[in-house]
Amino acid sequence: MHPIKELLNKIKWDKKENPEQYSIFYFDRILKKLIEISYNKIKKIEGSFMVVDNEDESNVPLHRIKKVTKDNVVVWERKV
């Protein structure tokens, strides 16, 4: 399985991939639950964070990403 940063970059740059098909699930520490966002909500990846474009721009550590789906099928999941 690919490291998450490698997968996110592949989705962005590989011409065979369609980012609109992907969803990212990350754990929100404050809400204590998984949050689902469309891949297109990722503004940029900086170091070990992804910058998410929501109501207010958020920095989400990559280690909080728990799974990635493509058309509702899990293509990457963090081992516990």
Give the Cα-Cα-Cα angle 40, 2, 62 (nearest 5 degrees).
Answer: 50
- What's the pTM value of the predicted model, to 2 decimals? 0.90
Task: List the one residue out of 55, 53, 75, 56 whose CA is nearest residue 66.
Answer: 75
Architecture of the 4-77 domain: Roll (2.30)
Question: Rounded CA gap, 59 and 11, in Å?
Answer: 19
pLDDT in tens, the chain (80 residues): 579 999 999 999 999 999 999 999 999 999 999 999 999 999 999 999 999 997 778 999 999 999 999 999 999 999 87
* In 1-80, alpha helices (H): 4-13
Q: Which pLDDT score is estimated for 71?
A: 97
